[in-house]
Amino acid sequence: MMFNKNGTILITSLWIIAILSILAIGIGFRISLEARLSKYNMDRLKALYLAKAGVVKSQGLLSKDTKPDYDSIYECGIALSGEDDPDKIFMNVELSESAEGSFSVSYKEEDPASPGKMLDYPGMMDEERKININTAPKEALEKLPGITDEIASSIMDWRDTDDALQPNGAENSYYQSLEHPYVCKNGNFSAIEELLLVRGMDQTIFEGIKDYITIYGAGKFNINTAHREVLIAFFTAFGGADRTLEETVVDKITNYRNGTDGQKGTKDDNIFIDTNIESVVPGLSANEAAIIGNLKNYFTIESNYFRIESKGIIDRPKIEKRIVSVATKNDGGNFELVSYREY
Ligand SMILES: [Ca+2]
Ligand SMILES: [Ca+2]
């Protein structure tokens, strides 16, 4: 009887040990999962703060710019001297020797030499290389790819404060008559995506122009940085009557800007340091110089709004956080953010 009783106790004990072991393994697995999850969350947080470091560094460089009178694609918002190089200043920056990650401030733009191919440009992007949809005259807006007279007029009605229709425009009466009615803004665009609310605009047209438009800036484009599409829009709107001639002028300007290597945004780029560019651009005919003269009210050589696209990267495992922000000078002379988004 004793033997049988002991046997029962043994079997019961074995069962208890087995059940406890299964529980222990389960708890152990859960703890390691939580540890891994919290490392992932920590790394994401570190990546975000690395990206923030990129924004803060860029803001600091903007505030220290010793050449604020003009900005180019290569020296965008910063002053370079000697062996300074935007690549070293902005790319793969580590905060310490033992850093587990880095940040990079750069933006992607199409390579003008091979359409469709995107290049990564180190540093900040000025907003004055684009057309400001809050201030641009209708004549320039309607020269953008895909923008009809009707859309350009509707943009004007969207942003003007009155309810008076432009010819071919659209005011509140139109937007209220839609199946899902909404109010005409009668004020400035708060984001470029707001264009999609304007009569006639659609996603396809928007995709075609989104890289050339902005809501920032005093209204003038920067002749040192402006996209070819922006130059073409203004030159064909105000240059004269001869489209071929205007395209030739634009090519002569961008060729001169690109410098001897023919690449935009490189060290040998030529910079316009005043608006009398017709006396600097080589090979202009009298007619072509006159076209530039007609444009004088629409361009400048400096920029005041800078887009900072900063990526924080943790190396292993690879985790990336991105911040897109826009900075401009405040009354105290420092650059503050007017837009900020984390991705
Ligand atoms: Ca209006
Ligand atoms: Ca160049």
E strands present in 111-239: 118-122, 125-126, 131-132, 213-214, 221-222
The pLDDT of residue 125 is 98
Nearest ligand atom owner, CA of 72: 2
Picking from 151, 169, 168, the residue whose alpha carbon sits closest to that of residue 160 is 169
213-228, pLDDT tens digit by residue? Answer: 999 999 999 999 999 9
Q: What's the CA-to-centroid distance between 155 and ligand 1, angstroms?
A: 9
Q: How many residues does the chain have?
A: 343
Average pLDDT of span 121-150: 97
Q: What is the mean pLDDT of residues 16-35?
A: 87
| Mean pLDDT of the region 274-285 | 95
Is it the case that residue 337 has pLDDT exceeding 80? Answer: yes
- State in Å: Cα 239 to ligand 1 middle: 28
Contacts of residue 177, defined as CB under 8 A and 6 or more positions apart, other chains included, come to none
Per-residue pLDDT at 107: 97
Rounded distance between C-alpha atoms, residue 78 and residue 87, angstroms:
13
- Return the pLDDT at 2: 53
Ion ligand 1, residues whose Cβ is below 5 A away: 157, 160, 186
Which amino acid, one-letter code, is at 196? L
What 3-state class would DSSP assign to 215?
coil
Q: Are 156 and 138 in contact (CB under 8 A)?
A: yes
Please name the residues in contact with 231: beta carbons below 8 A apart, sequence gap of 6 or more.
221, 223, 250, 253, 254
**pLDDT band per the 50, 70, 90 thresholds, residue 141:** very high
The SS3 of residue 206 is helix
Say whether pLDDT at 271 is over 80: yes
Q: DSSP E strands: which ranges in 111-251?
A: 118-122, 125-126, 131-132, 213-214, 221-222
As a whole number of angstroms, the distance between CA 51 and CA 49 comes to: 5
- Which range of 68-77, 151-160, 290-299 scores highest in mean pLDDT? It is 151-160
Torsion of CA 305, 83, 265, 138, to 10 degrees: 20
Distance 170 CA to ligand 1 centre (A): 8
pTM for the model stands at 0.88
Statement: residue 108 has pLDDT above 70: yes
pLDDT at position 44 is 94
Ligand that comes closest to the CA of residue 271: 2
Half-sphere exposure of 321 (CA within 13 A, CB side): 22
- Checking if the pLDDT of 110 tops 70, the result is yes
Return mean pLDDT, the chain.
Answer: 93
User: What does the pLDDT average to over 236-263?
Assistant: 90
Q: What is the mean pLDDT of residues 79-103?
A: 89
Note the pLDDT of residue 3: 56
247 Cα to the center of ligand 2, angstroms: 20
Which ligand is the nearest neighbour of the Cα of 188?
Answer: 1
Which of the four pLDDT bands, split at 50, 70 and 90, describes residue 98?
confident
| Ligand with minimal distance to 166 CA | 1
- pLDDT average, residue stretch 90-115: 89
- Whole-angstrom distance, CA of residue 256 vs CA of residue 120: 22
Which residue reads 């046997």 in tokens?
A: 7
In the predicted structure, residue 1 carries a pLDDT above the cut 60: no
Per-residue pLDDT band for 260 (boundaries 50, 70, 90) equals: very high
